[in-house]
Structure 1
Amino acid sequence: MAGIAALAAAYVLSQFYRTSLAVLTPALTAELGATKAQLSAASGVWFVVFALMQFAVGVWLDRYGPKRTASLMLALCAGGGSVLLALAVAPWMVIAAMALIGMGCAPILMASVFIFAKTFSPARLAVLTSWLMAVGMMGNVLGTSPLAAAAEAFGWRNVMLGIGAATLLVAAAIRAFVRDPAVEHMSVGSAGLKGYLELLRLRALWPIFPLVALCTAAAAGIRGLWAGPFLADVYGAEALLIGNVTLFMAFAMVAGAFVYGPLDTIFGTRKWIAFGGAVMSVVGLVWLATFPQAGITPTTVAMVVVGLAGGSYGLLIAHGRAFFPAHLTGRGVTLLNFFSIGGTGVTQLLAGAVVTAATVPGEPAAAYQVLFASYAIAMTSAALVYLLSRDARPERASVRLAER
């Protein structure tokens, strides 16, 4: 339990890092002259580097276990990146720091999922993963009003140095308390990166990949980056108001992860719960695109809906996990995570270009209407492909339904 607690603390830090730029936007713009495109690149590069690292992380989890993989990468890369961010004097340093931090955070959630998948029954994977994510998403909360208040009181550079120190302490706790599960026998054909080719030959996974890639993209993009510029440009919001609005959205993302967790065993399906969440997300995004100037309260409610609906990732991990073999557990979960984080990263990078291209002088809401509509179209497309997937019912739910 101490090991899981240490990994949960690391995931809190991971969530904090990936979303902190939304609140730091005014300071980074004022002190470093960072543009919206540069901040979008800084946010997006975190996700892209994180995603690309999943291939190495998957091999290392299967070969070396979660203890060494997670502790070393968190300390060296995330800790070092936090210090670099605190010392940044130019926008490129912010981008480089976020790339390092993304590399360091890459193994954290997957180390936990690896332990769950190896230690507990498949029927419990969705709820364990979802609830760990819910706990970790408290980092989202810390990255809103608390970060804004701390930055105002102590300076954002000092806050990031403190977070870097906390990162090193958590990495030491992972090294001390995490226990590696037993290593599975690995065939020659599945060794190294070849295991990913074996997984990609499993056609049952293909319809799942697009929704995995986009299920959290809108929530993470809006909460982590675009809420700040949107509220500042359209409503003239300052850091404290931005922090309060994103705080509500962050709590919604935490609640969403908790709620999704047990639903597969309650209803005996994973596919239709995840699809329903996608539809809910599209509804919130369409509303934001249609009524971007409706007022702070209804806008906050719509963002809360998007955040709540975006918590299906743990459920989708369990859905995909049902189709890959035990000896490829590490590579399987990291392949799914590659699509998730990669999808979010790519959408972040594209979002910057979309907002820049759609900007209309004198009409601050116009660019964000296009942004929210783009998220809605992408999510709708992924959900339609997901309809082709084969359901994977939890063991216990299947038993209960059979008894009926």
Structure 2
Amino acid sequence: MSAAAPTVASRRSAALVYAVAVTAYVTAVFHRSSLGVTGVDAADRFHINAAALATFSVAQLAVYAAMQVPVGVLLDRFGSRRLLLAGGALMAAGQLCFALAPDVRLAVAARVLVGLGDAMTFISVLRIVAFWFPGRRNPLLVQLTGTVGQLGAVLGAVPLVALLHHVGWTPAFLTSAALGATVLLLVLVAVRDTPHADPAAVATDPATVRRQLVDSWAQPGTRLGLWAHFVTQFSGSVFALLWGYPFLVQGQGFAPTAAASLLTLMTVVTLICGPVIAHLCARHPFHRSVVVFAITAATAAVWAVVLAWPGRAPHWLLVALVVVLAVNGPGSMIGFDYARTFNPVHRIGSATGIVNVGGFVASILLILAVGVVLDLATPAGRGTPPLDAFRWAFAVQYLLWGLGAVQVLRYRNATRRRQAAERTAAPVPAPAGA
């Protein structure tokens, strides 16, 4: 395929490859979020408390976060297609194991498989975007990928809850595994790494790998992306993945279907906000950190009102909370835009992997902290945590927001200093800044 102006056929091929790759990511988000709306059922099935339930998500997210840098290196070597296939197979196997697990140990192992496969998916799709589409379309397509992927959370909310309550635990998760296997076949048939028939091999000797990682980390723009991802992602992610559903049902008295519907609303708002955030970043690349700070401040402010409200919060306030949490996902995509801006294409995998660690490390810390605080604040002999226990648990978020905001400010300044030094040393057009 020619590298010149794209033909109609090449544009159609790019659209097909991207559509199937995004479908794989939608499925990964479905697998990832399937525990969020089934957490109460999982606690009953395996006879566990809040802290033990948190280990399910922690195991899944810990593997996801720990694998980001290794997966980035593997991605630069083996390409997106192979990693999407491997990731899809692992997630389908994880859901199959989760459906049949008779005890907690096998259930945790199942979530580990899901996390391992999930770790290979998103950054593989971003690499497809980098190779199949012009650079000027990258910010929009990265946001579109993250936004459309949240449709998987819709599938993991109301439909999965309805299926779970209608046919039971095992058939519901067997259906999830079958969905994953179907998408795996689509990837096998349709996805290619690049529009070229014979992509050049990438050197993978240890010295090269080490140099790429060191260069990616040494770039302050990469670390700015990591902390931007850290500070914007965790609140919405933890709410959707695990603790939002128990908070709404046990703490706020929502019916299960109403709570699932509110989580679905969160996803719908994410779909709307994604293109808006992408447009702002494309139009004002030197003010992306302002968007990061605005999203963080708005999220912290609305949570403050919810946590300080006497008694159960009114429905309008919880809707407002869900709406502001929905912006967290698109906001975290700004971190990947920093990785793309400040790193050459041959380091996209490793730089993106480093950035992706940020939000998921924060999410792991918050999931663990919420589970521990809920157990400590729940009176002995009580089956479900009271609302005050949820208040204390979610207040832990302010520690993470404080740390993340300081680090974003620190590395924004470091990135600007480096850009200024590079302009002085070589007066050529610099990349879009922080």
Q: Which moved more, 1:230-239 or 1:91-100?
A: 230-239
Query: Is 1:346 paired with 2:365?
Result: yes
Among 285, 298, 303, the alignment partner of 2:303 is 285
CA distance in 1, matches of 2:354, 2:408: 17
Matched, 1:90 2:103: yes
Q: Which residue of 53, 57, 73 maps to 2:71?
A: 57
Label 1:62 to 1:79 Cα distance change in 2 as closer, same or farther (>3 A).
Answer: same
1:161 and 2:180 matched: no
Where does 1:37-186 land on structure 2 (aligned, <5 Å)? 37-75=51-89, 77-181=90-194, 182-183=199-200, 186=203
Match of 2:5 in 1: none
Question: How far apart are the structure 2 equivalents of 1:165 and 1:335?
Answer: 32
1:275 maps to: 293
Shift of 1:12: 1.2
Match of 1:387 in 2: 409
Corresponding residue SS for 1:23: coil
Task: Report the secondary structure of 1:339's partner residue.
Answer: helix
Partner of 1:311: 330
- Superposition deviation, residue 154 in structure 1: 2.2
Distance 1:124 1:387, change over 3 A: farther
2:320 to 298, 301, 304: 301
Aligned AA for 1:297?
W
Distance 1:298 1:253, change over 3 A: same
Contact 1:131-1:257 within 8 A present in 2 as well: yes
* Gap runs ≥5 in structure 1: 393-397
**For residue 25 of structure 2, what is the aligned residue in structure 1?**
11
Aligned mates of 1:187, 1:27 — CA distance in 2: 45
Provide structure 2 residue ranges, at least 5 long, that are not aligned to the other structure. 1-14, 420-428
- For 2:56 and 2:75, locate their aligned partners in 1 and report how far apart those are by CA, in whole Å: 27
Q: Aligned letter for 1:270?
A: R
Cα shift readout 1:351-392 (whole Å, capped 9, x = no counterpart): 322322343568812222122222133123312321231469
- 1:372 aligns with 394
Alpha-carbon deviation of 1:335? 1.4
Q: Does 1:227 align with 2:244?
A: yes
TM-superposed CA distance for 1:190, in Å, is 5.4
Distance 2:134 2:288 in 1: 16
After TM superposition, the structure 1 stretch with the greater mean CA deviation from structure 2, 2-11 or 256-265, is: 256-265
* CA-to-aligned-CA distance 1:185-204 (integer Å, 9 cap, x gap): 54867523442222222234
Identity %: 23
* Equivalent residue number for residue 247 of structure 1: 264
Most deviating of 213-222 and 147-156? 147-156
In structure 2, how many angstroms separate the alpha carbons of the residues matched to 1:240 and 1:311?
A: 26
* One-letter code aligned to 1:285: W
* Distance verdict in 2 for CA 1:370–1:255, change over 3 Å: farther
RMSD, aligned CA? 2.5
Displacement after TM superposition at 1:83 (Å): 0.4
Distance 1:320 1:329, change over 3 A: closer
* Whole-Å separation in 2 of the counterparts to 1:178 and 1:301: 39
1:223 and 1:250 in contact (8 A); partners too: no
Q: C-alpha deviations, 1:285-322, integer Å up to 9, x for none?
A: 22222226222332232122122244212222112321
CA distance in 2, matches of 1:118, 1:74: 21
CA offset digits 1:46-101 (Å, max 9, x no partner): 111011122221122111111111112311x1111010010022222221111101
CA distance in 2, matches of 1:186, 1:287: 53
SS of equivalent residue, structure 2 residue 36: helix
The separation in 2 between residues aligned to 1:193 and 1:305, in whole angstroms, is: 39
Aligned AA (1:265): A
2:368 and 2:213 map into 1 onto residues whose CA distance is 26
Letter in 2 for 1:150: L
Instruction: Choose which of 323, 328, 334 in structure 1 pairs with 2:342.
Output: 323
Partner of 1:202: 219
CA deviation vs aligned residue, 1:257-291 (integer Å, no higher than 9, x gap): 23212211233432222222222222222222222
1:356 and 1:214, CA in 2 relative to 1: closer, same or farther beyond 3 A?
farther
Instruction: State how far apart, in whole Å, the 2-side matches of 1:350 and 1:300 are.
Output: 24
In the aligned structure 2, how far is the partner of 1:185 from the partner of 1:146? 43
Secondary structure of 2:372 counterpart: helix
Deviation per CA, 1:327-365: give whole Å up to 9, x if none: 211111111112232332232223322322343568812
Preserved contact between residue 284 and residue 303 of structure 1 (Cα < 8 Å): no
Distance 1:279 1:234 in 2: 24
Contact in 2 for aligned 1:14/1:105 (Cα 8 Å)? yes
